[in-house]
Structure 1
Amino acid sequence: MSDQVSRRSLLAAGAVLGLGSGAQAEAAVEETQVPPQKGRSMVGVPFERHDTVRVAIIGLGNRGGGMIGSFLAVPGVKVTALCDVNATAATRAANAVTDAGQPAPALYTKGDHDYENMLRRDDIDLVYVATPWEWHVPMAIASVREGKHVGVETPFATSMEELWQLVDASERYQRHCMQLENCCYGRNEMRILRMVHAGLFGELLHGAGAYNHDLRELLFSDTYYAGEWRRAWHTKSRLKGDLYPTHGLGPVAGYMDINRGDRIVRMSSMGTPALGLAEYRKANEQPGDSSWRERYVESDMTISLLQTAKGRVIRLEHDVSTPHPYSRLNHIAGTKGVFEDYPPRIYLEPRNTNHQWANFDEYKSYDHWLWTDVPPGPGGHGGMDYYMVYRTIQTMRLGLVPDMDVYDGAVWSAPVPLSSKSIDQGGAPQPIPDFTRGRWHETRPGVDSVKPV
């Protein structure tokens, strides 16, 4: 047995048994995970100032089309171009722009790659990508290569190679490439973030996040996902784990200052059999439906454990194919108490001493300034969509550092490929690379922003 194999075996064995915390967890990560840097770091890089932020949107289906109202409602935004292979969807979105009193945007609807023509325009500052997942990476890279900042829907990417491509492209072209994670801007999430930073939870120990959302009806809809593209991801043999980690992980990563003083170093995952979609198909689809040619491999429930360099633990869950109420878990615990969401409840010492959950409304004074000082706008998900767009545009107009950068997006989506790899290896721990290339030690702002004066 070679020294290299022997070392890897020891690391794997130590991880399975539980390698303590802090330096030991960091030691379990193989150094070969970080490739050479191809450009300057984007940590702490501010946007250039924009009096008006000119926005282009690629993908005008349920998500992209639904977000246009949020962009149009934010002061200082001009929607200049729209792109979708569905000309009807593009026209409908263009009508929303003109109905808001703006000039008609340019439309790009001539095939899968017409977005490349759109990106050559010189009147675009920010590109918003809301397309099927396989297009996220090529569209994001093309955007930054053409000198545009880009915000991408979840997941950022579905392979480790693609995640590094996004990091490298952002650094090489010095343009921000952001995973626009709306759940980081939820009212509860932002309140908890401020409470954590105020020290109310003491020293953090563990947290949990999830995307537990019964999507079976939508996955089998003939119209909701164009071409039923999202269900197809449940048939890909390389991806059997957590396909949608960022809604749960993004907020918890914020609580733990991931990439801002701590980092996630490894994860282990287990998955259940893939039974839910086949059972739903049997009960609801006609024998001749195209779905009967599909074989589902995506675990109905994936449970992952992630550990940080400081020894903290994060539990992630993903389930979109069995019957259950919606939950993102949104759980954080420290030496002074705990918060659990769905429904929200809290227990913090010294205020709570009777071993009974307290009312989370008692802590409204910790609401983030976005929720108290900015009037609500249009959009879904309880307001978080609008505040995400508002804050992104605000940072661009004022020339501030964005709340989230390419390194955050890469870490939040790393569980997509790594959970599947861990499941294939019987739950074996998988190292999560340091996408910041050593700058995770730096204390710096994130979503818990100070209100600009």
Structure 2
Amino acid sequence: MMVELPRSALSRRTLLRSGAAAGAGLGLAGLAPGAAAAQDAWPAAKGETMMGVPFEAHEVVRVGIIGVGNRGSSMLPLFLELDGVAITAVCDTSAEAVERAARAVVEQGRPEPAKYSAGEHDFENLLARDDVDFAYIATPWEWHTPMAVVAMRNGKHVGVECPLGVTVDELWELVDVSEQTRRHCIQLENCCYGQNELRVLRMAHDGMFGDLLHGAGAYLHDLRELLFSKTYYAGQWRRAWHTKLNADLYPTHGLGPVAAYLDVNRGDRLVRITSMSTPALGLAAYRQEHLPPDDPAWQERYAKGDATMSLIQTEQGRVIHLVHDVSNGRPYSRLNQLQGTKGVFEDYPPRIYLEPTGTPHEWGNWDDYAEHDHWLWKEVGPGPGGHGGMDYLMLYRLAQTMHLGLPPDIDVYDSATWSAPFALSARSIEQNSAPVDFPDFTRGRWRTPHPGTDSAKP
């Protein structure tokens, strides 16, 4: 049965935004209209829903970090800036990285965390500890689901770097285990807590863009130098994915914010995806220009097309354009676009046009809309940083919900949905860009109003 939330946990904004109010009469435990006919489209539930389920309140949130390479070590200082958060254990296959992380904790005047570096499965010993409430996983992608499953089965809530899982079966496993264990599984580094993203979200929910029609998100980042680095990705694991799969390998950065704008899983849902890729030329061209002829990378054949583009349609007929390209020279962009019947926002650089106040055919000044900033940016952010402050605010809000015993802004259903294009785009491309059905990880509860990133201040 769905947990009944106190009225304060659901803001008026959450309840009245587009689509959610229409489903409110179904009751928190009810299925969406027509869902009964589609129940065969998802595996049978093995536990009760985690939608809207609050954390148990923690006076101190005790965190175990698995993976203290580039990403994990960059997040460690942000965890250490949070009040009421303790780093109790760190793990990595590199003993040197573990020692460096432990020193960073001690240098902040904190107790030294327990250290685990005895092979690939030493993370299991960390997760067996009774002084870890939340496990943070920042490891190569193929380890994300196995580690998250062990964490939840050991009673830990878990946050996972993107993607959450690399197959649809893995994503269903994470949903099932979360429901069975009553532990939350959350997609971190989700790009939903940026200042622009949260401002657009609040403006969309206030109806300033009118009826929402389409949006765009992307991960457009020139990673060629890092992909061929001998040290940045241990064992060059990330480039190896470009030899194995032609797909959108990093969908969450672009999809997460746009899904929030469109109330995906809170009044709308993703129903199908169509994907295609360009030829795979960029990495081979970079190799030709920069690597000596005896480098082992010359034995590689790149399967991943340079740019993978997807169109995703929602139940309400809206469309999301999703793009991935890390193999070509270009400035960084996540696109971050939203179009409605009354106006449009486009990022990189940020610009806006709204009717009836905007000058026809001219962009307006995005800074003029600062009054619509989320309370996290008005009163907390950007803090010590991390992707312009969004990483710190993501962790701040996570810790806050755990301290106060509130539901997380992002749940396992959001997280699985945002990661699903990793596998689904590959399937569509393999089928000559045929449409592929999107799993409904909510099992028909996608109309249910519940907290999201447009959160009310506690």
The residue type equivalent to 2:358 in the other structure is: N
TM-score by length of 2: 0.91
1:451 corresponding residue in structure 2? 457
2:315 corresponding residue in structure 1? 309
Task: Give yes or no for contact 2:266–2:450 (8 Å, CA) kept in 1.
Answer: yes
Deviation at 1:115, TM superposition (A): 0.4
Q: Structure 1 residues 266, 375: CA separation in 2 closer, same or farther (over 3 Å shift)? A: closer
Task: Give yes or no for contact 1:274–1:298 (8 Å, CA) kept in 2.
Answer: yes
The residue type equivalent to 1:214 in the other structure is: D
Task: State whether structure 2 residue 284 is matched by structure 1 residue 278.
Answer: yes
Task: Give yes or no for contact 1:69–1:379 (8 Å, CA) kept in 2.
Answer: no
Describe the SS at the equivalent of 1:433: coil
What is the CA–CA distance in structure 2 between the aligned matches of 1:50 and 1:372, rounded to whole Å? 25
Deviation at 1:417, TM superposition (A): 0.7
2:10 corresponding residue in structure 1? none
Task: Give yes or no for contact 2:55–2:402 (8 Å, CA) kept in 1.
Answer: yes
| 1:80-110 CA distance string (max 9 Å, x none) | 0000010111111111111111100000000
The residue type equivalent to 1:327 in the other structure is: S
What is the CA–CA distance in structure 1 between the aligned matches of 2:208 and 2:354, rounded to whole Å? 7
The residue type equivalent to 1:170 in the other structure is: S
1:332 corresponding residue in structure 2? 338
Task: Give yes or no for contact 1:182–1:384 (8 Å, CA) kept in 2.
Answer: no
What is the CA–CA distance in structure 2 between the aligned matches of 1:349 and 1:408, rounded to whole Å? 31
TM-score by length of 1: 0.92
| 1:245-302 CA distance string (max 9 Å, x none) | 0000000000000000100000000111111111110110111111111111001001
1:155 corresponding residue in structure 2? 163
1:202 corresponding residue in structure 2? 210
Deviation at 1:325, TM superposition (A): 1.1
2:194 corresponding residue in structure 1? 186
Describe the SS at the equivalent of 2:191: helix
Q: Structure 1 residues 435, 375: CA separation in 2 closer, same or farther (over 3 Å shift)? A: closer
1:429 corresponding residue in structure 2? 435
Task: State whether structure 2 residue 412 is matched by structure 1 residue 406.
Answer: yes
Deviation at 1:353, TM superposition (A): 3.3
Task: Give yes or no for contact 2:39–2:444 (8 Å, CA) kept in 1.
Answer: no
State the identity as a percent. 64
Deviation at 1:380, TM superposition (A): 2.1
Task: Give yes or no for contact 1:67–1:379 (8 Å, CA) kept in 2.
Answer: no
Q: Structure 1 residues 375, 332: CA separation in 2 closer, same or farther (over 3 Å shift)? A: closer
Task: Give yes or no for contact 1:47–1:400 (8 Å, CA) kept in 2.
Answer: yes
2:48 corresponding residue in structure 1? 40
Describe the SS at the equivalent of 2:192: helix
Deviation at 1:354, TM superposition (A): 2.3
What is the CA–CA distance in structure 2 between the aligned matches of 1:356 and 1:446, rounded to whole Å? 33
Task: State whether structure 2 residue 69 is matched by structure 1 residue 66.
Answer: no
Q: Structure 1 residues 47, 133: CA separation in 2 closer, same or farther (over 3 Å shift)? A: same
What is the CA–CA distance in structure 2 between the aligned matches of 1:200 and 1:120, rounded to whole Å? 49
1:5 corresponding residue in structure 2? none
Task: Give yes or no for contact 1:57–1:128 (8 Å, CA) kept in 2.
Answer: yes
What is the CA–CA distance in structure 2 between the aligned matches of 1:290 and 1:38, rounded to whole Å? 46
Describe the SS at the equivalent of 1:351: coil
Deviation at 1:429, TM superposition (A): 0.2
2:448 corresponding residue in structure 1? 442
Consecutive unaligned residues in structure 2, runs of 5 or more? 1-33
What is the CA–CA distance in structure 2 between the aligned matches of 1:445 and 1:202, rounded to whole Å? 22
Describe the SS at the equivalent of 1:317: strand
What is the CA–CA distance in structure 1 between the aligned matches of 2:354 and 2:248, rounded to whole Å? 31
Aligned-pair Cα RMSD in Å: 1.3
Alignment of 1:368-379 (within 5 A): 368-379=374-385
The residue type equivalent to 1:338 in the other structure is: V
1:382 corresponding residue in structure 2? 388
The residue type equivalent to 1:41 in the other structure is: T
The residue type equivalent to 1:50 in the other structure is: H
Alignment of 1:125-164 (within 5 A): 125-164=133-172
Deviation at 1:374, TM superposition (A): 1.1
Q: Structure 1 residues 376, 334: CA separation in 2 closer, same or farther (over 3 Å shift)? A: closer
Paired residue total = 424
Consecutive unaligned residues in structure 1, runs of 5 or more? 1-25
Describe the SS at the equivalent of 1:36: coil
Describe the SS at the equivalent of 1:269: strand
